[in-house]
Amino acid sequence: MTPDGTRPAGAFPGYRPPPLMAGGHIQSLFPALCRRVAFAYSQRERVDTPDGDFLDLDWKLSGARRLVILSHGLEGDAGRPYIRGMARAFYRRGWDCLAWNYRGCSGTPNRRLRSYHSGAYDDLALVVDHAAATGRYTAMVLVGFSIGGNITLRWLGRCADRIPAPVTRAIVFSVPCDLADSAAQLARFENRIYMKHFLIALRRKIREKMTVMPGRVDDAGYGRLKTFRDFDDRYTAPLNGFKDAEDYWRRCSARREIPGIRLPTLLVQACNDPFLGPGCYPEAEARANGNVFLEMPASGGHVGFIAFNRRGEYWSERRALAFAASGA
């Protein structure tokens, strides 16, 4: 959007939900529960990290000179419909695709006590550097969803002077760029279904660590955890070098990194996203940085943006393609 909040003439059309699907909850739940995407990766590659852990990378290769790198959301993986849908849309148009799985998200427990988290941009940096080092690509674009978007924005802002030359643009959707505000939003009564889902999924990760690293972590009394504040205080913060949840949220919220972004970056935040609090709409920061294009459609939910068409492509996929191609 332009600095005065208007959409430039000729810009990509804004999002309009299908009839009867405008609500934030249905926009968020329908894709996760009902969407099926016919797309398969061609190979998996395991890359070691400097601290003795590993990342699993899923590739779809055709010999293209352009690459899209995809970062998933909390408790997601490269196989989620929103990741495979985006990968399929880019692949159809002549791009290679790389979807990376965070530590412990590829189906194999990670080796270290450290977990993935919303601010772990060092792993993304490793993935981008690894892809750039192949020498195959003249253009690379990043697409991130939810915490994958937060990680992407943090990397763009904090590593602005170390971004490999082929990286030209970034696109992120549904980003909890103010982690404290997002945590408060998800703690609301009407969002208890999402909070319960995440706590169940995260407990599985804790139990995996208990098996691989007995005695170093446990889930005693886990049932008393009700919110992200509870979980982050007990697990995320101490496992990753933060004082507590507040310290983690403050240091890892991508909103504070937006002023440092130097690459053209599209940030799409639906106004009815049930995961995002008021602080997750960084209008002032976007106005002050000509490289950041903030779009806030009235509808879209969290990683939703449902669309029905012959090719089975969601609005978010076509929006990302348009920005990747021209920045419009």
Q: pLDDT tens digits, residue range 245-257? A: 999 999 999 999 9
Residues 181-208 have a mean pLDDT of 97
Q: What are φ and ψ of residue 238, in 5° steps?
A: -65, -30
The mean pLDDT value for 281-303 works out to 97
Strands 265-268 and 292-295: parallel
- pLDDT tens string 74-116: 999 999 999 999 999 999 999 999 999 999 999 999 999 999 9
- Note the pLDDT of residue 13: 85
pLDDT tens across 216-245, in order?
A: 999 999 999 999 999 999 999 999 999 999
* pLDDT interval class at 327 (50, 70, 90): low
pLDDT given for residue 7 in this prediction: 40
Strand partners, 70: 99, 143
Please tell me the predicted confidence (pLDDT) of residue 328: 53
Residue whose C-alpha is closest to residue 262's, from 156, 140, 173: 156
pLDDT at 190 exceeding the cut of 60: yes
Beta bridge partners of 45: 57
Confidence of residue 135 (pLDDT cuts 50, 70, 90): very high
Q: What would the pLDDT profile of 144-164 be if each residue is shown by its tens digit?
A: 999 999 999 999 999 999 999
Residues 6+ apart with CB under 8 A from 161: none
Q: Which domains does the chain have, with CATH numbers?
A: 24-178+257-326 (3.40.50.1820)
As a dihedral over the C-alpha atoms of residue 32, residue 35, residue 36, residue 40, rounded to 10 degrees, the angle is -50
Q: What is the amino acid identity at position 246?
A: E
Which two three-digit tokens encode residue 211? 């098996």
**Which percentage of the chain shows pLDDT scores above 90?**
95
